[in-house]
């Protein structure tokens, strides 16, 4: 047999075109079955995906370290469907979607240091900055503290002087300090972002906040300029009006907007796989509407999905929704 002769495997694939269709549960475990790339090799792609398997800054149930792998595995379904059907019709938006128009590269997981949050944060910042120099970063977490260094990395890498934040969450994450965790943990990430050189509370919008916060929190929100939209606001005004107003506030007089979606923003009856569940959250329909609207806004320059803890959801619905949220934003940005 010469090098030019077909191999038995090649002959089989030629004879059976279906062999080119990779099942959702087969093959490599990358986001949307995207090719694996180094963070410094992204100049020809639309999106660079990074995983952050770190949950050392959580105050409640651990397990978000397993979120990136679970979201990647769940995302394979959309890649399979698009490949199998030759494109898709999004039955929610009515849009024609072709994922071959969305060039995603998966850069794997950033190095994490479970006993050293500072070194982990520096790892996140530097890797997101490297991606942001080249393309749109999408981060899969990980606990919500990881958003702070990811946000700073995006600002640094994209060259933005000012960046707004749209945060979908059950909690505000504006704590000043914890007697147990100090100033750096998942309950302080938004305050750290507001106090960074890249943003302030005037350009931070929060959607779906509920439960309990510190005393006199509404006074703090008014005095600081925080754009606060509680779940009661969502119920009273509707999700569309809230999201449109929230993103406009975050985008005003900024160079770009970073979107962070903590999965506990969704009702735990729908997405129980998270560390700090709170009743009366967003429905799956409302959550997807959030990403549909944000995905059409020109200011959005980076995004993440955080705090998926698959061990608390044997149905795997939480990571499936997490993947669907990411896919929805990205398809509206790049594949419609």
| Closest-CA residue to 323 (of 81, 15, 121) | 81
| Closest-CA residue to 145 (of 75, 177, 192) | 192
Task: Tell whether residue 262 is among the known ligand binding residues.
Answer: yes
| Burial of 126 (C-beta count, 10 Å sphere; 0-12/13-18/19+) | middle
Task: Tell whether residue 144 is among the known ligand binding residues.
Answer: yes
Q: Which H or E element spans position 136?
A: strand 136-141
Task: Tell whether residue 169 is among the known ligand binding residues.
Answer: yes
Please report where in the chains the tokens 């509920």 appear, as a residue: 210
Task: Tell whether residue 264 is among the known ligand binding residues.
Answer: yes
What's the rounded Cα separation, in Å, for the pair 196 and 217? 21
Q: Is 166 left (phi over 0), alpha (psi -120 to 50) or beta?
A: beta
Task: Tell whether residue 173 is among the known ligand binding residues.
Answer: yes
Q: Is the peptide bond before 77 cis (omega within 30 degrees of 0)?
A: no
| Closest-CA residue to 265 (of 289, 295, 244) | 289
Task: Pick out the residues of the known binding site for Mn(2+).
Answer: 144, 169, 171, 173, 262, 264
Task: Pick out the residues of the known binding site.
Answer: 144, 169, 171, 173, 262, 264
């Amino acid at each position: 047999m010469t090098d030019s002769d077909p191999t038995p495997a090649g002959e089989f694939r030629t004879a059976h075109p279906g062999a080119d269709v990779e099942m959702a549960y087969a093959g490599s475990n990358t986001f949307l079955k995207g090719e694996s790339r180094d963070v410094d090799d992204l100049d020809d792609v639309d999106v660079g995906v990074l995983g952050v398997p770190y949950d050392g800054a959580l105050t409640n149930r651990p397990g978000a370290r397993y979120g990136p792998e679970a979201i990647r595995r769940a995302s394979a379904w959309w890649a399979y469907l698009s490949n199998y059907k030759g494109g898709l019709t999004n039955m929610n938006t009515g849009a024609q979607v072709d994922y071959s128009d969305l060039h995603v590269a998966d850069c794997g997981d950033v190095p994490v240091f479970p006993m050293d949050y500072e070194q982990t944060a520096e790892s996140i910042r530097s890797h997101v900055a490297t991606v942001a120099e080249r393309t749109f970063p999408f981060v899969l977490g990980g606990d919500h503290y990881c958003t702070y260094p990811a946000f700073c990395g995006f600002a640094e890498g994209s060259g933005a002087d000012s960046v707004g934040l749209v945060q979908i969450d059950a909690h505000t994450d504006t704590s000043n300090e914890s007697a147990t965790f100090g100033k750096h943990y998942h309950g302080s990430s938004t305050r750290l972002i507001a106090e960074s050189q890249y943003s302030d509370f005037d350009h931070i919008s929060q959607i779906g906040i509920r439960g309990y916060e510190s005393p006199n929190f509404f006074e703090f929100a008014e005095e600081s300029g925080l754009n606060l939209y509680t779940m009661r606001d969502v119920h009273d005004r509707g999700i569309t009006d809230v999201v449109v107003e929230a993103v406009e506030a975050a985008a005003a007089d900024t160079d770009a907007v970073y979107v962070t979606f903590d999965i506990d923003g969704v009702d735990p009856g729908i997405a129980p796989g998270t560390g700090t569940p709170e009743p009366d959250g967003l429905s799956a329909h409302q959550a997807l509407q959030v990403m549909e609207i944000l995905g059409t806004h020109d200011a959005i320059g980076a995004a993440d999905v955080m705090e998926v803890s698959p061990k608390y959801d044997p149905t795997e619905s939480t990571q499936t929704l997490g993947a669907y949220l990411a896919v929805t934003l990205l398809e509206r940005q790049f594949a419609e």
